[in-house]
A and B are shown apart, each in its own frame.
Chain A
C-alpha cells in the first residue's frame, strides 16, 4: 500500500506539472486552470508525502520501483520538509503571483509556465530525497538546478537573468564534480557486489561499505562534497546562492533556501554514512567540521555588510547550513539529532522569512533595507511576523531554533570542541546584531512617501501565519512522531540502517549521551 503511495508521490507531480504547463492553451482561463492544477499538485504531494512518512513510522521504510525509491526515516525527515514547506510556500505562491500579474511584473501567459516549473521543481526535490540509486540521486540534483533556473530568472530583468545564468553555470559545473564521486563509489562497489543493479543502490553499498577501497572513498567524498556542497550552499562554493535567492520570486527563494539546500545536504549525508560505515567517522566528520565552521564564519561576515533584505536572508541560509554541517561534524547521537532538528527548524523559519520578504517587496517595491521603514504603520501583521521570524532565526526562545541551536552547541561542548563553539558563538553574535538591526529599522521608523497603508492580501498572510504557528509550536512541543523519526534517522546516520528493533529509543542509546534527552524536552510539554 505504502509502495503505491510512494510511486504516486513521484508520478503525480510530474504529470500534474505537465498539465500545468499546458494550461497556457486554456485561453482566458489559463491562469485559473494553472492555479487549480498547482493547488492540486501541492496538496497531492503533501498528502502522499505524509502517507509515505506514516508508512515509515509504521514499517520502518517504504520502497518502490525495484528498490530504486527508498524512504527510510532519514529521507522521511527531509520528505516532511519538502512536502510541508512546499505546500505552504505553494499556497503563498498563488497570492504572490496574482499580485505580480496585477502589477504587470509577470505576463498572464507566464503564469502557467511558473506553476509548471514550480511543480516540476517540487517533483525533482521529492526525487532527490526518495532516490536510493546513487546515480539517480545525482541526476535528481542536477534536475533540480535545471528545473529551477527559469524560476530564478522568470522576471527577465537584467539582474535576474544574470542570477539565473550564474546559478545554472556554477551549479552544473559544481554538481558535475559530484558525478565523479558517485561513479567512483559505484565502480568500486560493482567489484564485489556481483549484480550491477545492486551496486547502484545506496542501501546495498552501505551494507557492504567495509569492502570499499578507503583511498577511493576519501577521494570520492571530496568530489561529492565539492559537488553537492555547491548545491547546498556550503562556503566557499556558495557563490550562486545570494544572487539566485535574491533575484528569484520570493516563494521560489523560500523553496530554494528552505528545501533545496537541505535536499543536497541529504545526499552528502548519505555518502558520509557510506564513509562512516566503510572507514569510520573521523574523515567525514573532520571535513564537516572544517566546512561547517568556515561557512558560519564567512556567512556571518557577509551578513554584517548586507543592505539587501533577501541577500541577508540568503547568507543566513549559508550560515545555518554551515551550522547543520558543523553539527554533523560534531557527530554522535547528540550532534546528529541536533543537526536534523535544526534542518527542520531552519527550513520552516527561512520559508517564513522569505515569504515575509515577499510581502515587504509587494509593499515597498525594493529590497534595499535603507528604504524599508515604518512597516508597523504600513503592514502591522507583516511586521509582526517579520519580528517573530527574526527572533526565531537568531535563536531566541521560545521559538524552535533556540532548541536546535542550543542542542548543537551543547553537543559541541559535550564532544570536546568548547573553544570552537565559543568562537562560533561570537560570530553568531554578529549575525544576531545584523538581524536585530534589520528588524528594528524595518519595523519602526518613519514611513517613506508613496507607500499606501494597509497589509497585503489575506492569501499572502494565511500561509505565513501557519508558518508562525509551526515555528512557535515546535519551540514548545516536539510531536512524538517527529521525535521518533529523528530518533530513527540518527540511528541510520550512525549504524547505516535503522536498528532492527525500532523500539530502541535514543535515551537507551547510552545514558551518558544526555544532550539527546534535552532534545526531547520540548515534547514533555505535551504530556
Chain B
C-alpha cells in the first residue's frame, strides 16, 4: 500500500516540477529543472519496480536516468550554448493563464481516468491521471511558448508524461519496446535541437512566431 501512496505522491511532485520548467524564463535553468523532474520520474519507476516486483522496471529506471536525466538536458544545454546570444522571445500567453490551463488539464485528466476501468492500474489512478495531465502540460508548453528551444522542452515533458503512462500500464511489455520508445525520444530531442540551432543561424531568432513564410 505504501508503494502506491509513494507513487501517487511522487507523481504530484512531477506536476510541480513541470510547472517550474514551463514558467522559468531562463532556458538554462529550465533544462536543469527538467533533469530534476526526470530524477523524480526515475524514482517513480524504482518504486513501481519494488511494489510490483517487475524486474524490468529497474531497467526502465536505468534507461530513464541515462536518457532523460543526463542526455536530454545535456543536448539541450549544448544547443543553448550555440544560441546563447539570442534574445529570448516573449511568451505567447501570460503565465497566469498558462497555470489556469494547466489546472484545467489536470482536472479533466482526473475526471476521465476515473471513468475508466483499467484493471491493471486501478490502484494508482491518481498517478495515471497525473501522467496524462503531464502529457497535456507538454502540449501546453509547446502552444504557449514562442521560444523554439522551450518548445522542445515541451516535447520532453510530453515524453515524460507518456513514459509514466507506459510504465504504469505497460510495465510488463518486452524491454525492447521501452528501448524503442526511449531511443525515439532521445533522437527526437537531438534532431529538434539541431534543427533549432540551424533555424537560429539562418533566421537569427528563436521566435516561433517568425516562422510564418509558408501559408495556405
Contacts and interface: CB of A to CB of B under 8 A. Distances in A.
Interface of A: 133, 135-136, 138-139, 142-143, 145-146, 149-150, 153, 156-159, 161-166, 168-169, 172-173, 176, 179-180, 183-184, 186-188, 190-191, 196-197, 199-200, 213, 215-216, 219, 242-243, 246-247, 302, 305-306, 311
Considering residues B117, B180, B214, which has the most beta carbons from chain A within 10 angstroms of its beta carbon?
A: B214
A188 B117 CA distance: 9
A196 B142 CA distance: 34
Given A135-B177, A187-B120, A196-B174, A180 B214 contact: no
Interface stretch (B9-17, B23-31, B190-198): B190-198
B116 A216 contact: yes
Contacts of B187: 143, 146
A150 B191 contact: yes
B92 to A, nearest CB: 14
Interface in B164-205: 165-166, 169-170, 172-174, 176-177, 180-181, 183-184, 187-188, 191-192, 194-196, 198-199, 202-203
Contacts of A200: 173-174, 177
Interface residues of B, number: 47
A166 B211 contact: yes
Interface string B115-153: 011111100000000001001001100100000100100
Nearest to A127: B180
B33 interface: no
Task: Give the interface SS of chain B, mostly helix, strand, loop or mixed.
Answer: helix
Given A156-B198, A176-B162, A216-B116, A183 B174 contact: no
Given A180-B162, A183-B165, A158 B181 contact: no
Contacts of B116: 215-216, 219
26 contacts: A135-B170, A135-B181, A138-B181, A142-B184, A146-B188, A149-B195, A150-B195, A157-B202, A162-B199, A162-B211, A162-B212, A165-B199, A165-B211, A172-B188, A173-B139, A176-B138, A180-B135, A186-B173, A187-B118, A187-B121, A190-B170, A190-B172, A199-B172, A199-B173, A200-B173, A215-B116
Nearest to B143: A173
**Chain A residues touching B, majority SS:** helix
Nearest to A157: B202
B155 interface: yes
A168 B212 CA distance: 16
B76 interface: no
Contacts of A186: 169-170, 173
Given A169-B151, A184-B169, A215-B116, A164 B177 contact: no
B216 interface: yes
Contact of B213 (A145, A162, A172): A162
Given A139-B184, A164-B195, A172 B155 contact: yes
B214 A159 contact: yes
B64 interface: no
Nearest 10 pairs of A and B residues by beta carbon: A196-B172, A187-B169, A139-B180, A162-B211, A142-B184, A135-B177, A243-B214, A191-B119, A161-B199, A159-B213
B158 interface: yes
A220 to B, nearest CB: 11
Interface of B: 116-121, 132, 135, 138-139, 142, 148, 151, 155, 158-159, 162, 165-166, 169-170, 172-174, 176-177, 180-181, 183-184, 187-188, 191-192, 194-196, 198-199, 202-203, 208, 211-214, 216
A471 B203 CA distance: 42
B158 A176 contact: yes
Contacts of A216: 116-118
A179 B138 CA distance: 15
Contacts of A168: 188, 191-192, 195
A176 B213 contact: no
Nearest to A142: B184
Nearest to B119: A191
Nearest to A66: B174
A470 B91 CA distance: 52
Contacts of B120: 187, 190-191
B169 A163 contact: no
A213 to B, nearest CB: 7
A311 to B, nearest CB: 7
Contact of B169 (A142, A161, A183): A183
Contacts of B195: 149-150, 153, 161, 164-165, 168
Given A187-B118, A200-B173, A242-B214, 19 more contacts: A135-B173, A135-B181, A139-B184, A143-B187, A146-B188, A157-B202, A159-B214, A162-B199, A162-B211, A164-B195, A166-B211, A166-B214, A176-B159, A179-B162, A179-B166, A180-B162, A183-B170, A199-B173, A246-B214
A199 B184 CA distance: 22
Contacts of B138: 176
A190 B170 CA distance: 8
Contacts of A183: 162, 165-166, 169-170
Contacts of B188: 142, 145-146, 168, 172
A466 B159 CA distance: 43
Nearest to A152: B195
Contacts of A187: 118, 120-121, 169-170
Nearest to A145: B188
Contacts of A305: 216
A251 B195 CA distance: 21
Contacts of B214: 159, 162-163, 166, 242-243, 246-247
B150 to A, nearest CB: 12
Nearest to A141: B184
Contacts of A215: 116-117
Given A164-B195, A191-B119, A216-B116, A173 B155 contact: yes
Contact of A133 (B177, B196, B208, B212): B177
A306 B214 CA distance: 12
A173 B155 CA distance: 7
A150 B198 CA distance: 11
Contact of A306 (B151, B183, B216): B216
Contacts of B169: 183-184, 186-187
